[in-house]
A and B are shown apart, each in its own frame.
Chain A
Amino acid sequence: GAGVSQSPSNKVTEKGKDVELRCDPISGHTALYWYRQSLGQGLEFLIYFQGNSAPDKSGLPSDRFSAERTGGSVSTLTIQRTQQEDSAVYLCASSLDSYYGYTFGSGTRLTVV
């Protein structure tokens, strides 16, 4: 597609449930990133995928968070046993490499009640 697509755009879930967030990057972009934007805060790095290299997971806040990227394209961010502090907008971005302009998706707004 023309841009980075994320789904769902909004997700309300009960505390303790698992959620999956999906990101479909721009075709041909080898780099894919997940960021989290909490209310009133700057975006926080979560994870970075580059081609077939091992991902940099250093930004994941706890072992309840995991992400995978299948076939070098679509990525899924999974949050297990969600907590209220997980409520945020989760943004995905892709780029040709880490220097050039990133293209962000519109994000998934996650609300844990």
Chain B
Amino acid sequence: KNQVEQSPQSLIILEGKNCTLQCNYTVSPFSNLRWYKQDTGRGPVSLTIMTFSENTKSNGRYTATLDADTKQSSLHITASQLSDSASYICVVSAVDSSYKLIFGSGTRLLVRP
């Protein structure tokens, strides 16, 4: 069964600190992996998208990594800001049904001053 699992479920860090969020998936055949940020009461917003051949991609203070062999991805947030407080969702799609995104349950990040 195609699944996406994320850890930790929730995380609290101090403003200015770095953090890393993890994503493991069993989706096959793999097409691409995306990280989304979802603020409370809003729809998810795309941060990065990576295909099989890409192993790192950055978007400002966000850096995503992908190891397609071990089926793992991480999202590293550098110099966190209060506005980074949100849910971060790992999303994977398969080649044979690329429009059926498979969502993880997300990591809820709280950045405290």
Contact = CB atoms under 8 A, between A and B. Distances in A.
Q: Do A and B form a real pair?
A: yes
Interface of A: 4, 31, 33, 35, 40-45, 48, 50, 56, 59, 91, 93, 98-99, 101-107
Interface residues of B, number: 20
B82 interface: no
B43 A104 contact: yes
A101 B49 contact: yes
B30 interface: no
B88 interface: no
A42 B107 CA distance: 11
Contact of B101 (A40, A45, A103, A107): A45
B43 A91 contact: yes
B65 interface: no
Interface string B69-113: 000000000000000000001000100001111111110000000
23 contacts: A31-B99, A35-B103, A40-B105, A41-B105, A42-B4, A42-B89, A42-B105, A43-B101, A45-B100, A48-B99, A50-B99, A56-B100, A59-B100, A91-B44, A98-B99, A99-B98, A101-B46, A101-B49, A102-B101, A104-B44, A104-B45, A106-B42, A106-B43
Contacts of B101: 33, 35, 43, 45, 102
B99 A33 contact: yes
Contacts of A104: 43-45
A14 to B, nearest CB: 24
